[in-house]
């Protein structure tokens, strides 16, 4: 049995701060740590420094999303095996979206997929995942499904139910309270939520987004300041089934 922690989109400096400070204090409770790092470089993409921060703090694997390409340093990072971008970018795209790790004598395969509702139309994540699952010796499979629509995310969860150990969504930056094991054994949560400032609008200081919605004139958004919160999901997986799943949430003290 592997104890896996998946941490949702780390957003900017406050996200890196809480991840760096808190993860080491709980790292020994987990056998494998995955973190979505698509907003770890100032909210936009990932760079060498933010990736190093996440890895040094104890992450074994970093997943990404629609912000993958925001920072040019990602091309070098994608040459490693443990930094993944959504697999369903077109054939020929730099990097890869799936990797199998050996942990404590078990195998765990991480897949990073991206949805298409209100996002760029990549290749079909449903059909594409079917193809990926034809490979052998994948061990227990965990999917970070980076998507917006709850219908697409939930449908994807049921589509994979019984065929992977876990499906947890990212991208909305708000954790969902539908954490459970689906009927055929797949651990599921629609969104892991974000790791960044609690009193923010998806990581940004509220005045920028409020102005966008009220005034309709573009303004620059800034990363929010204040207490950060780490949002994650714990899954106990074995033989490609989920034995236990629960939310993990830690907030900095005031």
Does 137 help bind a copy of itself (rule: CB under 8 A)?
no
Q: How far is the CB of 179 from a copy of itself (least distance, A)?
A: 8
- Indicate which residue of 67, 171, 173, 250 is catalytic: 67
* 16 binds, options a copy of itself, Fe ion, none, Cβ within 5 to 8 A by partner type: none
CB within 8 A of 166, min separation 6: which ones? Answer: 4, 6, 140, 141, 142, 143, 186, 187, 188, 233, 235, 237, 242, 245
Residue 142 and residue 11: Cα distance in Å, rounded? 22
Residue 178 and residue 193: Cα distance in Å, rounded? 12
Binding track over 62-81 against a copy of itself, x by CB under 8 A: -------x------------
Of 254, 221, 250, the C-alpha closest to 234 is: 250
Please identify, using beta-carbon distances, which residue of 139 and 250 lies nearer to a copy of itself.
250
Q: Based on the residue annotation, tell me whether 67 is a catalytic residue of this protein.
A: yes
Cβ atoms 40, 51 nearer than 8 A? yes
Angle between helix axes 150-160 and 125-132 (nearest 10 degrees) is 20
Among 102, 134, 215, 253, binds a copy of itself (CB under 8 A): 215
Among 9, 144, 148, 191, binds Fe ion (CB under 5 A): 9
Per-residue tokens: 198: 């609690």
| Contact footprint for Fe ion (CB under 5 A) | 9, 38-39, 65-66, 171
| Contact footprint for a copy of itself (CB under 8 A) | 69, 89-93, 116, 118, 120-124, 126-127, 148-152, 154-156, 158-159, 172-178, 180, 182-183, 190-191, 193, 198-202, 206, 209-210, 212-218, 231, 247, 249
Catalytically active residues are 67
């Amino acid at each position: 049995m592997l104890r896996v922690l998946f941490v949702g989109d780390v957003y900017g400096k406050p996200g890196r701060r809480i991840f760096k400070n808190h993860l080491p204090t709980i790292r020994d409770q987990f056998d494998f740590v995955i973190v979505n790092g698509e907003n770890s470089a100032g909210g936009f993409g990932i760079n060498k420094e933010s990736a190093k921060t996440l890895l040094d703090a104890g992450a074994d694997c970093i997943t990404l999303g629609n912000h993958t390409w925001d920072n040019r340093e990602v091309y070098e990072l994608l040459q490693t095996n443990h930094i993944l971008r959504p697999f369903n970018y077109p054939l020929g795209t730099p990097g890869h979206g799936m990797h199998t790790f050996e942990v404590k004598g078990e195998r765990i395969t991480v897949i990073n997929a991206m949805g298409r509702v209100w996002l760029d139309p990549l290749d079909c994540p449903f059909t594409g995942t079917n193809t990926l699952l034809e490979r052998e010796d994948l061990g227990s499979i965990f999917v970070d499904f980076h998507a917006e629509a709850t219908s697409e995310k939930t449908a994807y969860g049921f589509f994979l139910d019984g065929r992977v150990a876990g499906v947890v969504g990212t991208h909305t930056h708000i954790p969902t309270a539908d954490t459970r094991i689906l009927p055929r054994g797949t651990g599921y949560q629609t969104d892991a939520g974000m790791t960044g400032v609690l009193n923010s609008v998806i990581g940004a200081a509220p005045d920028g987004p409020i102005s966008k919605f009220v005034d309709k004139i573009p303004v620059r958004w800034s990363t929010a300041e204040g207490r950060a919160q780490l949002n994650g999901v714990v899954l106990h997986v074995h033989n490609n089934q989920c034995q236990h799943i629960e939310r993990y949430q830690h907030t900095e003290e005031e």
